[in-house]
Every structure is written in C-alpha cells, then in structure tokens.
Amino acid sequence: MADSGVPYVESSLELYLSEVAVARKVVEVARLGYDAVVGTAFLDNGLDAARELVDIPVVGPAKTTMYMAATLAHRFGVITAAGDLPRHIRALAKLLGVDDRVVGIPTLKCTVADFLHDEANALAMLIATGRHLVEEQGAEALVLGCGATTGLASRMAHALGVPVLDPGLTAVKYAEMLVDLGLSHSKRAFPYNPRVMQLLNGMR
C-alpha cells in the first residue's frame, strides 16, 4: 500500500496526491527483487512515473482491462464507484485509442469503501448498471472500474451474458505474461532520468 494518506481514489485531488507515493512504492518493491509490479488503483495513478524509474514491468488495471475489452468486443462500458473518475477513465481510453469503443462510464451510488463493506448491495448495483449498458447502450463487454470489485466479475458475467473484466486479475495475468515473455516497457517511451530519482527521494 502506497503511503499517500489517501486510502481510496475517488476524486481528482486524491488521484494527484497518490501519484508520487505510488511511484516511490514501485521503486521500493522493485528493489526487493520482484519480477513485476501491478498497481491496485484502477486509474493507474503513478505508474507512468514509476516506469521511468524501474526496469521491470509495471502494469496498471485501467489500460490493461480497457485494451483487453477492445479485443473482446466492438463496444464496451466501464462501471466505476462514486466520485470524479469518469473523465480520467475517458482520458486513459483516448490515450489507448479505444475511446470510440466506450459506450458509457456510469458511476454507482456507492463509494470504494461500500464495495468492501456491503458486497451484496454493490453487486446488485453493478448488475443493474451493467444491464443498462448492455441492453440500452449496446455494450458487448464490461470493465469493472474499481480495484475493490475483485471477485465480482464472474457473477456479473453469468447474470448479463457478456464478458466482464476484473481489473485486478486481468492486470496480474498481463504482468505474468510479460514476465514469461521477457518483456518490459520501452525505455525510449519511459526513459530513466537520475534527476527524477533524486527528486523523488527528496520528497519524502
């Protein structure tokens, strides 16, 4: 867990506050000898910065699951928790080049904490929202846009009859694939800068 003072990311401010802490935590984990790091927050916060600082694969749930969804269906929806998150998800979709595939990014009337404390109610809301995306907006697959939804995708898929992507599990499997293939992020895309590392260490 990155020590940013932000337990969950549900707003732009919390997103920005967590960026440096996440990048620092990835560096700490890499120094322990792990083969890859997977971010837990759906918005991939801090991971682009981390890729400039380590050589191992750094995988985020948002880019991974949206890209995967675009390979499984022509149109998909992303369901997220309450808060100021859809515009950030949309920005990531544009960066990936899949924005035209996203039919909607509805927010639920529950927070990240609600997913953890009342799973049954959260699942009911997810299924109802997913059904609207499928039947009314033409989604052919769904992405769960919250790290706290792990374990709910299979039950949603059974209820709705479309692929539902679990962000945490998908990111972990993608990281495993990169390790197995001996691949990591291009240093031309994410070049190492010693000054950045010095800056990061100075921000403790």
Mean pLDDT score across all residues of the chain: 89
Give the pLDDT confidence score for residue 142 in this predicted structure. 98
Would you place residue 5 in the very low, low, confident or very high pLDDT band (cuts 50, 70, 90)?
A: low
Q: What is the percentage of the chain residues whose pLDDT exceeds 70? A: 90
Closest CA to 50 of 64, 60, 42, 41: 60
In single-letter form, the type of residue at position 199 comes to L
Secondary structure tally for the chain: helices H, strands E = 9, 6
- Distance between CA atoms of residues 80 and 112, nearest Å: 9
Would you place residue 151 in the very low, low, confident or very high pLDDT band (cuts 50, 70, 90)?
A: confident
Q: What is the percentage of the chain residues whose pLDDT exceeds 90? A: 64
Question: Token pair 């440096």 is at which residue?
Answer: 20
Give strand pairing partners of 144.
79
Q: Show Cβ contacts of residue 28 under 8 Å, excluding neighbours closer than 6 positions.
A: none
Q: Which of 30-39, 107-116, 135-144, 181-190 has the lowest mean pLDDT?
A: 107-116
Q: Taking 70 as the threshold, does the pLDDT of residue 200 lie above it? A: no
Pairing of strands 141-145, 76-80: parallel
Q: Which domains does the chain have, with CATH numbers?
A: 64-169 (3.40.50.12500)
More confident residue, 6 or 36: 36
Q: Show Cβ contacts of residue 144 under 8 Å, excluding neighbours closer than 6 positions.
A: 65, 78, 79, 126, 152, 153, 156, 164, 165, 166, 167
Q: Averaged over 129-154, what is the pLDDT? A: 92
Q: Taking 50 as the threshold, does the pLDDT of residue 1 lie above it? A: no
Q: Which letter does DSSP use for residue 203 in this model?
A: T
Closest CA to 148 of 55, 84, 71, 82: 82
Give the pLDDT confidence score for residue 166 in this predicted structure. 95
Q: Show Cβ contacts of residue 165 under 8 Å, excluding neighbours closer than 6 positions.
A: 65, 68, 69, 72, 141, 142, 143, 144, 153
49-103: per-residue pLDDT in tens?
999 999 999 999 999 999 999 999 999 999 998 778 899 999 999 999 999 999 9
Would you place residue 120 in the very low, low, confident or very high pLDDT band (cuts 50, 70, 90)?
A: confident
Q: Taking 70 as the threshold, does the pLDDT of residue 33 lie above it? A: yes
CA-based R_g, the chain, Å: 17
